[in-house]
Amino acid sequence: MDKVFVENEALTKIVQMLSDDDEFSEISSKVIKLAGECVECDHSAIVQVSDDSDGISLIAEWGDISCNVPSSLKRNASIFDDDIVVVNDTYTYDEHQNAMELLNAKRIVVSPLSINGEIAMYLMFVNTEDKEFLTSDITFMCNVASVLQAVVQKKVINNSLLSSYTALQDVLNNVGCGVYVYDSNTGEIQFENKIARENAGLLSLVDECAKDYFVKKSQYSSEDLAVMEKYDKENSLWYEIKFCELNWIDSRPVTMCTVFDITQKKKNLEKIQFQAQNDFLTGLYNRMKCESDLKVLIDETVREGRKAAVLFLDLDDFKHINDGLGHQYGDVLLQEIALGLRNIPGLCGHCYRMGGDEFVILLVPDVYDRLGEILEAITVMFNKPWYIMDTEYYCTMSMGIVEFPSQGDTVHELIKKADIAMYKAKKNGKNRYSFYEEASENTSARRLDVEHNMRQAVEAECEEFVVFYQPIIDRNTSKCVACEALVRWNSKAFGLVGPDEFIPLAEYLGLITYIGDYVLEKACIQCKEWNELYDPSFKVSINLSVVQLLQNNVVENIEEIITRTGVNPENIILEITETLAINDMERIIKIIDGIKKMGVMIALDDFGTGYSSLNYIKELKLDIIKVDKSFIEDITEEDYELAFIKLIAELSKTIGVKVCIEGVERANQVRMLQGVDVQLYQGFYYSVPIPPSDFENRYLSV
């Protein structure tokens, strides 16, 4: 048949694809096959170029795949031009020769495809044999290229946001921060988004920074963002101003400057820092601060060869005062005691409220010599009545004392030993203090009881522990796509105990690894069953305690359970909490990498309650961020909370992480979140955690 006729017919078919609703990659595959066959070449392909170093990726290819197009082209972008290029092996340019060799080609025709005037892809035809392309072939290829170009353009207009200018403007207008785009060469402003336009005052602030930036620009490496913080005195606002270099739509180099109002963030940070260290009620430092101070103090005493002590103080029968007289009285009493302790010479700044009616005093080396005197002062203080709202009350205390470093040199050990000594004082009749003695190490009856029961439960193969499931809903489809596995202890002795009550003790006792493994195994088996019965892509999300995560063999252990249960690892999500992210990032990153290699996904739990900065999200290679329920508790339109969720949603999208909002309880919360691009929801609004059989009936077997 006449070749021209065949080519025309093919072209007609290709033109018809213009109206196809298929994905661009599918259309591309069809087109290059058809075109490749027509021109009788050995290989045809469409490759995409981007600015990053890995420049080239394959969208579709046809024919002899030994050409290995993308990897060989990465090193040979030189055959790409902004016009159609016909290369043959007699070509004189070295670069072209090189490309030909790598591609194992004798003839190449490359034609660019642009989007909005910028080259986005190339269509290429390759001959591995010494076979000339005919002029009519090349004309045909040009025609195919222009049809493809039209398809691309249409797809861009229909689907892809970022590539089209108006869409880019839309995006920039809605990013929730001021955006200025400077021409990198002239320093002139090219574009301002809505927020920037509406805050005329911002410009002077930004311009100042921009001048600074342009002067020092060469100091920033290209991956580095230049970040500055500026205070706007007039309006008492803080701004974070960032600069980065990129190519504008018309491929001109521009400097993009984003301006975030971080006033609220700053205030919150201060508040969080204060709250994190202080006890709201008494104004003393709290447990966390105690632990960090003690750690420093231990190091110091060890280094300097000195002595210090931990005093652990627990009020006797405080519960009676609280229950009998009401919380207001109890609160006032705690405040009075805090004040009294603080006023004892040498103790100011070293008193901590550990929670409830427990206090700790750190006796630093400088006052350690006065231990006797201080114990006397505390005893005297508690032997007198307290005046609360004009009435006298007696409230005594029991106290345990442990000396360090001789009796221990870790925070945990010292607090535990001081606690043990305190219980001894209680047992001996309260209203007294006792020193820690190695021989008398036995824990309190209460703790012993729970401990004993929990150990037994673990030894009995964890059978008392049950796993409940709570649905995770995909917002777009309103379907339940996953669930979170939540453990409960159905204890013979205490009834149904919630995880918040027993997990901390289990962690403390080192039993969490057994319980955690048990939950993981149960949940994997459950997931596999549900995958087989109902939905092959249904996912189960499982909590991992910090203690588990820090076990030496955590990765192997998880792998073993996954292999043994036969669950598809891609359906398993492990939830880790944010607080641990700060301590040993390198180690955590390694562990997470190990877990991710299996195909398991990682979710960052309770996001927003810990200390991790947004940077960690990137470093940790997360798949999902679970925004803590406190963020939507009383969410309103103007709130910081909503703004925070929006920010997280935007950020997550750019780095390819999904967001799950936890603690959705009411319809109005769902409504409030409508404008935010978040995929996953979880909360009582949909369902509380329920036993597996109920879960199955409600969400899977329907």
567 lies in the binding site for ligand C2E (CB under 6 A): no
Q: How far, in whole angstroms, is CA 317 from its chain's centroid?
A: 43
**Per-residue contact track with Ca ion, 553 to 582, x per CB under 5 A?**
----------------------x-------
Residue range at the interface with ligand C2E (CB under 6 A); choices 272-280, 306-314, 330-338, 493-501: 493-501
Of 51, 500, 634, 638, which lies in the binding site for ligand C2E, with binding defined by CB under 6 A? Answer: 500
Residue 633 has a CB neighbour count (10 Å cut-off) of 11
Give SS3 for 603: strand
Q: How far is the CB of 664 from ligand C2E (least distance, A)?
A: 6
Cβ atoms of residues 580 and 548 within 8 Å: no
629 lies in the binding site for ligand C2E (CB under 6 A): yes
**Nearer to ligand C2E (CB atom), residue 343 or residue 636:** 636
**Nearer to ligand C2E (CB atom), residue 107 or residue 539:** 539
**Nearer to Ca ion (CB atom), residue 104 or residue 579:** 579
683 lies in the binding site for ligand C2E (CB under 6 A): yes
Please classify residue 568 by burial: count the beta carbons closer than 10 Å to its beta carbon, then call 0-12 exposed, 13-18 middle and 19+ buried. middle
Cβ atoms of residues 517 and 525 within 8 Å: no
42 lies in the binding site for Ca ion (CB under 5 A): no
Of 87, 503, 540, 620, which lies in the binding site for ligand C2E, with binding defined by CB under 6 A? Answer: 503
605 lies in the binding site for ligand C2E (CB under 6 A): yes
Percent of the chain that is helix, strand, coil (3-state, to 5)? 45, 25, 30
The item of ligand C2E, Ca ion, none sharing an interface with residue 400, based on CB under 5 to 8 Å by kind, is none
The item of ligand C2E, Ca ion, none sharing an interface with residue 419, based on CB under 5 to 8 Å by kind, is none
**Hey, which residues between 642 and 681 contact ligand C2E (CB under 6 A)?**
663-665
Q: How far is the CB of 548 from ligand C2E (least distance, A)?
A: 7
630 lies in the binding site for ligand C2E (CB under 6 A): no
687 lies in the binding site for Ca ion (CB under 5 A): no
Rg (Cα) of the chain, in Å, rounded? 34
Of 40, 291, 358, 606, which lies in the binding site for ligand C2E, with binding defined by CB under 6 A? Answer: 606
| Size of residue set near Ca ion by CB under 5 A | 5
| Size of residue set near ligand C2E by CB under 6 A | 21
548 lies in the binding site for Ca ion (CB under 5 A): no
The item of Ca ion, ligand C2E, none sharing an interface with residue 684, based on CB under 5 to 8 Å by kind, is ligand C2E
605 lies in the binding site for Ca ion (CB under 5 A): yes
Nearest-angstrom CA–CA distance, 97 and 439 = 84
Q: For strand 658-661 and strand 107-115, is the pairing parallel, antiparallel, or unpaired?
A: unpaired
Secondary structure string (H, E, C) spanning 280-294: CCCCCEEHHHHHHHH
- Write the single-letter amino acid at 374: I
610 lies in the binding site for ligand C2E (CB under 6 A): no
Closest CA to 692 of 488, 510, 503, 485: 485
Q: How far is the CB of 269 from ligand C2E (least distance, A)?
A: 23
Q: How far is the CB of 170 from ligand C2E (least distance, A)?
A: 34
**Nearer to Ca ion (CB atom), residue 47 or residue 632:** 632
**Nearer to Ca ion (CB atom), residue 69 or residue 602:** 602
Edge-to-edge strand ranges of the sheet holding 118-127:
56-63, 43-49, 118-127, 107-115, 85-88
Of 526, 543, 565, 679, which lies in the binding site for ligand C2E, with binding defined by CB under 6 A? Answer: 543
The item of Ca ion, ligand C2E, none sharing an interface with residue 487, based on CB under 5 to 8 Å by kind, is ligand C2E
**Nearer to Ca ion (CB atom), residue 413 or residue 606:** 606
Q: How far is the CB of 600 from ligand C2E (least distance, A)?
A: 16
Q: How far is the CB of 487 from ligand C2E (least distance, A)?
A: 4
291 lies in the binding site for ligand C2E (CB under 6 A): no
The item of ligand C2E, Ca ion, none sharing an interface with residue 545, based on CB under 5 to 8 Å by kind, is ligand C2E
521 lies in the binding site for Ca ion (CB under 5 A): no
163 lies in the binding site for ligand C2E (CB under 6 A): no
Of 543, 545, 548, 682, which lies in the binding site for Ca ion, with binding defined by CB under 5 A? Answer: 543
41 lies in the binding site for ligand C2E (CB under 6 A): no
Cβ atoms of residues 476 and 679 within 8 Å: yes
Q: For strand 308-315 and strand 358-363, is the pairing parallel, antiparallel, or unpaired?
A: antiparallel
487 lies in the binding site for ligand C2E (CB under 6 A): yes
Residues 6+ apart with CB under 8 A from 559: 598
Of 516, 569, 608, 692, which lies in the binding site for ligand C2E, with binding defined by CB under 6 A? Answer: 516
Q: How far is the CB of 68 from Ca ion (least distance, A)?
A: 44
Q: How many helices (H) and strands (E) does the chain have?
A: 25, 27
606 lies in the binding site for Ca ion (CB under 5 A): yes
Closest CA to 72 of 108, 21, 38: 108
Instruction: Give strand ranges (E) for 356-507.
Output: 358-363, 386-388, 391-393, 397-404, 433-435, 465-474, 479-491, 495-497
- Distance set, CA 223 to CA 53, 260, 396 (Å): 12, 20, 62
DSSP output for 142-178 = HHHHHHHHHHHHHHHHHT-STTSHHHHHHHHHTSSSE
545 lies in the binding site for ligand C2E (CB under 6 A): yes
Residue range at the interface with ligand C2E (CB under 6 A); choices 31-39, 219-227, 324-332, 495-503: 495-503
Cβ atoms of residues 70 and 106 within 8 Å: no
Nearest-angstrom CA–CA distance, 13 and 9 = 6
Nearest-angstrom CA–CA distance, 33 and 144 = 12
Is the peptide bond prior to 499 cis by the omega test (within 30 degrees of 0)? no
Q: Is 22 left (phi over 0), alpha (psi -120 to 50) or beta?
A: beta
**Nearer to ligand C2E (CB atom), residue 133 or residue 686:** 686
Nearest-angstrom CA–CA distance, 448 and 434 = 20
Cβ atoms of residues 41 and 47 within 8 Å: no
Point out which residues bind ligand C2E (CB under 6 A). Answer: 470, 486-487, 498-500, 503, 516, 519, 543, 545, 605-606, 629, 663-665, 682-684, 689
